[in-house]
Structure 1
Amino acid sequence: MLVHIPSELPSTLEEIKINDNHLHAIDEDGLKDLKNLITLELEGNKLSEANVSPLAFSPLKSLSYLRLGRNKFRIIPQGLPTTLEELYLENNQIEEVSEICFNHTRNINVIVLKHNKLEEHRIAPLAWINQENLESIDLSYNKLYHVPSYLPKSLLHLILVGNQIERIPGYVFGHMKPGLEYLYLSFNKLTDDGIDPVSFFGAYHTLRELFLDHNELKSVPFGIDEMRKLRFLRLNNNKIRTVPPERICKAHLDDDVHDNSEEEENEDSRLEHVHLENNYINTRQLSPHAFSCIRSYCSVVLKPQKSK
């Protein structure tokens, strides 16, 4: 039933958890002297930008892990510690990410903003594009209509489950170094028109997992055959009717031209899991070459299918 953070906490503390209380303010002295604090959890309270001082976090010279989920924030709190590495703000009412939010958090690695009210045009172009350590962003269950532009250069994990996304804009991943590895777009509104070969430009050689299940795709998107490192592909629960021979597996040369060189060995896909169940595929009509690059047939899930 705490309403305020207890005063006179020992300065040696490294971890404080005050989740699911009734905190409704943190003034600028609320966390004073806690220079050794590494972890701070304040989830499930009544905190907002109106009652948390922009100076509240400034005494925290060692903080790396901050949880503020299930509060009442409409914007990302100001004055975040420069040492911060992980920030959790899920289940708030956040509507925008301004270009100054993360100006001073150069070490930030993980940002979780799922279950908020973000639209892509309310994420400022300079909000996080120049972050060099930001590897994971979770924007699931917001109000996004397409994959946001100006994502961090360093991004490896992008989680966009449960939005209204209809489109992956061309070259949206093109500036990333070393490149995106995990892209989760399940439970959106993607159609064939919303994905084209340049949608994945910049991620062809790095993507390991691609989740496009529970969308409105009628065919397997172009470009998957170019994804050399892809291990896990989810296309289940769409409206796909067939899998053309060269859409998942690159076309092989004629057999008599091949010798058993290493190059051919490298042509084998790394795909370990391909989910295509709950579509409209007539499995009897599939080409024998549709999955020829996948080493193990048990890696391909085709049953059950929906009838017309």
Structure 2
Amino acid sequence: MSRLKGVAERDPRAGFRAERRDGGASVPQGLLKAARKSGQLNLSGRNLSEVPQCVWRINVDIPEEANQNLSFSATERWWEQTDLTKLIISNNKLQSLTDDLRLLPALTVLDIHDNQLTSLPSAIRELENLQKLNVSHNKLKILPEEITNLRNLKGLYLQHNELTSIPEGFEQLFNLEDLDPIQNTTLHLVFSSLSSLVRLNLSSNQLKNLPAEISGMKRLKHLDCNSNLLESIPSELAGMESLELLYLRRNKLRFLPEFPSCKLLKELHLGENQIEMLGAEHLRHLNSILVLDLRDNKLKSVPDEITLLQSLERLDLSNNDISSLIFCSLPYSLGKLHLKFLALEGNPMRTIRREIINKGTQEVLKYLRSKIKDDGPSQSDSVIETAMTLPSESRVNVHAIITLKILDYSDKQTTLIPDEVFDAVKSNIITSINFSKNQLCEIPKRIIELKEMVSDVNLSFNKLSFISLELCMLQKLSFLDLRNNFLNSLPEEMESLIRLQTINLSFNRFKILPEVLYRISTLETILISNNQVGSVNPEKLKIMENLVTLDLQNNDLLQIPPELGNCVNLRTLLLDGNPFRVPRAAILMKGTAAILEYLRDRIPT
């Protein structure tokens, strides 16, 4: 009982009563009992208007079960309980916390985000072991000076409050590694003192300038400046050698910054700005870059030096002003990169067919590589359809078969793929099939003739209500587009598609994520937006170690399982347009990393 001595001295009655002055009944005894063993208590989303007294006194009072059991087994010795170290009371209706907070001196994590708190008690200074404090999404008007006593604090989350200043001595929190601060014009004065900071979130703060003092954070790896009013970036930022992730989305930047010293920079997010030019000088130092997001800008061209980014995996150029595939617009040499994701949608492209862009990254890269050697088909090689030719009667594009290795019979509005289409393949190698925008009710059986060579299949915009076994026998299939059909299930035999990396099931009639997808371990991208999906299995998703993109937008998800936060391999998780209440829109806007962290914090213990 010596562990309780310090508390007992302040409260003579401590340890000799099992008092419940208020809503202790709102916390199940089984939950309290488990918390005494694990040291963790999660009361998130229980509609609490105040913290029950039994929570504050969990390590002080004799537990209720002690009066009910006279012979204790090894697992029921309440006096050998563990001090509470993690308390989560987020998503409730708390308006205040009492000074009884001091009765939990062993706390290392206190999460009270999404409440209605207007202040914090001065007793918070006694939580000397506290390492993580989350008070975001409250109504705090001021931070108590006592918070500067929390010298072991590593994570502090303050965003979405009504704070206008920080207390004096804030720079004494020199162990801070993760900071989500507030809209505050004086915060930059302590930047250079917070030398341990690893992650800094300055998003949605209406910042017009970044303070040069930010360069004093020598260990900073993750800087989020999304949704501000920035027109330029201070040159000092380019000298931050530890920087790995930089978010500058939704600002007013006109030029891409140069980063000569940021040798470790892996992700650079510049979407939704006003950048008009991308020069070689902006790219030559990005030796380690994996993700470059330039969507929704005003770029007219991409320099040939883009090929210097040999580590680049994801490049988003969608919704810009790139008009053609020529050296001064979009270089063919882009095809030399080993990209996993390339987005070009929303550009006024004239020299690359829309259907190729719609088929995805690998097909675009394949096309670009072919254009390096061949500047395009001549009219004599191509099929020329006259105004008198009906779409369903047009001949097969032989040039596409020979040069691009594509069997293309799309946009014909036909209910049947003629035998002459497959006959035209002859001895040529075909890697892609495009039968999109027809009226197909079933997959052509002759597709099986190409099972040993085809890697990409596009059957979108048809009337398919089931998937035939012929498709499941395409041994090399890596990309499958089935969007805009009438599908509500997938056959178990699809498990044999051991090379499948991307599947697009958007705009169908699925009510659950098909079970067979969980068993295709090679899947990297699942697009299943605009269906009626009501649930997903986070435990099975977690096993899919290669899955990096999951699009569940516009479905019928009433709740998001917190365990989904354990799917740490996900880089893109899209959840907009579902009827769930949490996470809130503000969390969704912050991106995948913030969503996953939010969900992890809500996992019951």
Determine which of 306, 325, 329 is the counterpart of 1:284: 325
Aligned residues: CA RMSD: 2.8
Letter in 1 for 2:175: N
Equivalence map 1:146-161=2 (5 Å): 146-151=209-214, 152-161=217-226
Give, in whole Å, the separation in 2 of the partners of 1:145 and 1:290.
38
Equivalence map 1:6-25=2 (5 Å): 6=53, 7-10=56-59, 12-25=83-96
Query: Is 1:67–1:88's contact at 8 Å kept on the other side of the alignment?
Result: yes
- Cα deviation, residue 307, structure 1: 7.6
Determine which of 114, 122, 144 is the counterpart of 2:186: 122
**1:79 matched residue in structure 2:** 146
**2:249 matched residue in structure 1:** 186
Letter in 1 for 2:192: I
Give, in whole Å, the separation in 2 of the partners of 1:77 and 1:273.
44
Partner secondary structure for residue 270 of structure 1: coil
Equivalence map 1:35-74=2 (5 Å): 35-48=105-118, 51-53=119-121, 55-74=122-141
Query: Is 1:243–1:290's contact at 8 Å kept on the other side of the alignment?
Result: no
**1:241 matched residue in structure 2:** 300
Query: Is 2:325–2:331's contact at 8 Å kept on the other side of the alignment?
Result: no
- Cα deviation, residue 186, structure 1: 0.9
Letter in 1 for 2:276: K
Partner secondary structure for residue 288 of structure 2: coil
- Cα deviation, residue 110, structure 1: 0.9
Query: Is 1:217–1:238's contact at 8 Å kept on the other side of the alignment?
Result: yes
Q: Which moved more, 1:6-15 or 1:208-217?
A: 6-15
Matched, 1:270 2:311: yes
Partner secondary structure for residue 305 of structure 1: coil
**2:175 matched residue in structure 1:** 107
- Cα deviation, residue 4, structure 1: 5.5
Matched, 1:212 2:270: yes
Unaligned runs of 5+ in 2: 1-47, 61-82, 351-605
| 4+ residue segments displaced more than 6 Å | none
Query: Is 2:232–2:253's contact at 8 Å kept on the other side of the alignment?
Result: yes
Query: Is 2:120–2:143's contact at 8 Å kept on the other side of the alignment?
Result: no
Q: How many residues align?
A: 273
The alpha-carbon distance between structure 1 residues 135 and 161, as it changes in their structure 2 partners (threshold 3 A), is: same
Give, in whole Å, the separation in 2 of the partners of 1:97 and 1:220.
39
Give, in whole Å, the separation in 2 of the partners of 1:5 and 1:112.
29
Query: Is 2:91–2:115's contact at 8 Å kept on the other side of the alignment?
Result: yes
Query: Is 1:171–1:202's contact at 8 Å kept on the other side of the alignment?
Result: no
The alpha-carbon distance between structure 1 residues 294 and 78, as it changes in their structure 2 partners (threshold 3 A), is: farther
- Cα deviation, residue 237, structure 1: 0.8
Partner secondary structure for residue 202 of structure 1: coil
- Cα deviation, residue 90, structure 1: 2.2
> Can you list the C-alpha shifts for 1:146-204, whole angstroms capped at 9, x where unaligned?
23332222110001111111111212342x3x421100111111113xx554xx3432x
**2:342 matched residue in structure 1:** 300
> Can you list the C-alpha shifts for 1:202-258, whole angstroms capped at 9, x where unaligned?
32x121100001111111254222211111101111011111223x345xxxxxxxx
- Cα deviation, residue 135, structure 1: 0.4
- Cα deviation, residue 56, structure 1: 2.1
> Can you list the C-alpha shifts for 1:73-100, whole angstroms capped at 9, x where unaligned?
2455432321111112221123345662
Give, in whole Å, the separation in 1 of the partners of 2:213 and 2:332.
35
Where relative contact order (Cα < 8 A, 6+ residues apart) is larger, the structure is 1
Specify the structure having the higher radius of gyration (Cα): 2
The alpha-carbon distance between structure 1 residues 75 and 122, as it changes in their structure 2 partners (threshold 3 A), is: farther
> Can you list the C-alpha shifts for 1:272-291, whole angstroms capped at 9, x where unaligned?
11111110102322458574
Give, in whole Å, the separation in 1 of the partners of 2:284 and 2:90.
47
**1:92 matched residue in structure 2:** 161
**1:253 matched residue in structure 2:** none
Unaligned runs of 5+ in 1: 251-267
Partner secondary structure for residue 226 of structure 1: coil
**2:102 matched residue in structure 1:** 32
> Can you list the C-alpha shifts for 1:39-86, whole angstroms capped at 9, x where unaligned?
2122233323xx424x32222132112110111224554323211111
Percent of pairs with identical residues: 26
